[in-house]
Amino acid sequence: MAELKPAYLIHGDDHGRIGERRAALKALAERTSGSGGVECFEGDQSAPDVVAGALAAMTFAIGRRFLIVDGAERWKDADIARHLLPALASIGADTTIAFFAREEGRFKVSAQLAKAVEQTGGSVATERTLKARELPKWLQGEAERLGVTLDRDGAQALVAHVGERQQRLLRELETLALELGPGARIGADEVDEVAAHSAEHQVWGLVDTLVGGDGAATTRAYLELTAQGESLARLVPLLARRVREVLAIAQRLEAGEGPQQIKASTKGNAWALDRRIAEARRSDTDRLGRTLEVLADLELASHGASELSDSTEAIRAIARIAA
């Protein structure tokens, strides 16, 4: 584990990335010192005088002490200078404090706080939402960090597939790097073959549970996808396509073909094909055929053929498939 610094400031307008870094630091702190060694300051407790008082207070916790502070983007220079700067100047050797500032509009982190963190020997990091034109170059840099080479055409193709959310782009790039291996050179062809659209990629888990007849897990997966903004009208064709692929493989397995024969005569990514074969083995052609019939009815409902809401229709369809 890298040596921990006395203070950190993570700020910027990429709130998703800031949230990820906060969660990672909190998990590290709990592994290092247990939950008793971690203090979090949010809401009314997130104020320079409160945090300064906590830094000065004695603690009976054993091991390193961690203070995680949210809302630093709202602090005023006068309050920082009066309360926090003296406390940071005398921070204990067994203490780490991390400030998180989610900037937007007129709420920006104080330059005084950044300077004070640096003077303790700490680290200041900016997490900024990139403009669309900046994403390909950023992806190429992240690819290099992951040990692969992503050319500009590949980077542009990845943005076209996944969209402009940096967290989703990074997760998809990490998947590519893992699948293609260290030193791989990734261009548009590799991206087109491996990197499915983000909703299509996430729907794999939904298909796994749907084909397996697990109604509760399928319902949870469906609600998670719709909470991310995916529509039923988009999800149903993706589900139906995956089920048809699994059905075709299940029919071949029932006819006596082995997995190696199926792989040898089927185009596509080997990893994805292994998943389809595994799904086909867990189901049967009758069940998959009925699933397609239910999905066809659900697709009609999603285009206005029902007076019920999309969510109600989807949950009813999931229950029918699971039954």
CA distance 109 to 57: 25
Domain boundary among 146, 165, 194: 194
Which pLDDT score is estimated for 143?
A: 93
Is residue 150 assigned to a domain?
Answer: yes
Listed residue (236, 249, 230) closest to 293, CA to CA: 236
77: domain CATH number is 3.40.50.300
Tell me, yes or no, whether 232 and 255 share the same domain: yes
158: domain CATH number is 1.10.8.60
Is residue 2 assigned to a domain?
Answer: no
CA distance 67 to 93: 13
Tell me, yes or no, whether 202 and 317 share the same domain: yes
Tell me, yes or no, whether 183 and 146 share the same domain: yes
User: Which tens digits make up the pLDDT trace of 197-227?
Assistant: 555 556 667 777 777 777 788 888 888 777 7
Tell me, yes or no, whether 249 and 163 share the same domain: no
Is residue 241 assigned to a domain?
Answer: yes
CA distance 247 to 104: 49
Taking residues 293-317, report their average pLDDT: 78
> Band of the pLDDT at 114, cuts 50, 70, 90?
very high
Under 8 Å between Cβ of 88 and 122: no
Which pLDDT score is estimated for 195?
A: 60
Alpha helices in the chain, H assignment, sequence order: 15-33, 48-56, 77-79, 85-89, 111-119, 135-145, 152-162, 166-180, 188-194, 198-211, 215-227, 232-254, 259-264, 270-282, 285-300, 310-322
User: Which tens digits make up the pLDDT trace of 251-303?
Assistant: 999 898 888 888 888 876 566 678 788 888 888 888 888 888 888 888 887 77
Is residue 158 assigned to a domain?
Answer: yes
Tell me, yes or no, whether 30 and 121 share the same domain: yes
Under 8 Å between Cβ of 4 and 10: no
pLDDT at 196 over 60: no
Taking residues 21-28, report their average pLDDT: 91
Domain boundary among 152, 178, 194: 194
Which pLDDT score is estimated for 308?
A: 65
pLDDT at 60 over 90: no
Tell me, yes or no, whether 266 and 312 share the same domain: yes
Is residue 41 assigned to a domain?
Answer: yes
Q: Give the range among 2-11, 39-48, 187-196 with minimum mean pLDDT.
A: 187-196
Which pLDDT score is estimated for 307?
A: 64
Taking residues 149-175, report their average pLDDT: 85
232: domain CATH number is 1.20.272.10
Is residue 1 assigned to a domain?
Answer: no
Domain limits at 18? 7-126
Tokens found for residue 98: 């991390």
Taking residues 227-256, report their average pLDDT: 83
Tokens found for residue 255: 């006819």
Q: Which carries the bigger pLDDT value, residue 214 or residue 65? A: 65
Is residue 286 assigned to a domain?
Answer: yes
Tell me, yes or no, whether 115 and 161 share the same domain: no
